[in-house]
Amino acid sequence: MKSVALIGANGFVGQSIRKYLLRDKNISLTSVIRENYLEAKGRKKYDFIINAAMPSKRFWAKQNPHKDFRDTVEATFKIVNDWKSLKIIQISSISARSQTNTVYGRHKAAAEKLVENEINLILRLGPMYGKELSKGVIIDLIKNEPVYISRESLYCFTPVDWIGQWISRNMHLSGILDLGAKNAIRVGEIAERIGSKSTFQGPIDNQTISKEIRNAPQAIDVLDFILEYRNIKQNSY
């Protein structure tokens, strides 16, 4: 029986990871949220700690650099030094590699340095989607709101459900790995395919993985999700 502490269990990615870990009878899971953080920290030494609690708002980070540093770098430092575990799995972002000129990317990269060793696993995630999605490019396109990147930007949109399942099955890996869909799709193409009236303004912001993952979904599958999501929202009004 492996003991796992999942920090950020109620978050967008955390919920998906939690669902699949609970299905594994060989795992004893402690779901960690703000309310039980201190209790879980002092409870015992875990086989695995999965840190899925770092903020994911890139543009918010630019406006709130000190808060993003606290919630990303300082929070990771505390996990590394205050918690007891055999292995840490850090849920990071592709931005740690592709956007080191931004506050968000620099902080994600700095947090990775605190975790990086021959045992731990760092997973750099790209843009994701799922039924609990509430922000990001997809939502902006559905709502016909401005998108502050170039329409030529390539995104490896990935179902968060696939991400959670993959992580639950590959906790034995170590090192740094990009995790996302194959064949990134142009954001402008998505707008055209769904008839979005969003305007684009900003630089090219490619969110792509450096190496394809076997059996990963195709990024273009996001179109099916958008159509279904939009229909559900329209029928709920």
Which pairing describes strands 154-155 and 185-186: parallel, antiparallel, or unpaired?
Answer: antiparallel
Over the stretch 119-137, which tens digit does the pLDDT of each residue have? 999 999 999 999 888 889 9
> What pLDDT does 233 receive?
60
3-state secondary structure of 210: coil
pTM for the model: 0.93
Over the stretch 160-178, which tens digit does the pLDDT of each residue have? 999 999 999 999 999 999 9
Measured distance CA(61)–CA(69) in Å, rounded:
8
Q: Would the pLDDT of 237 be above 50?
A: no
| Average pLDDT of the residues of the chain | 94
Nearest to 18 by CA among 173, 160, 172, 140: 160
Measured distance CA(106)–CA(102) in Å, rounded:
6
Q: Which CATH class is domain 2-235?
A: alpha beta
Over the stretch 56-88, which tens digit does the pLDDT of each residue have? 888 888 999 999 999 999 999 999 999 999 999
Rg (CA), the chain: 18
Domain ranges of the chain: 2-235
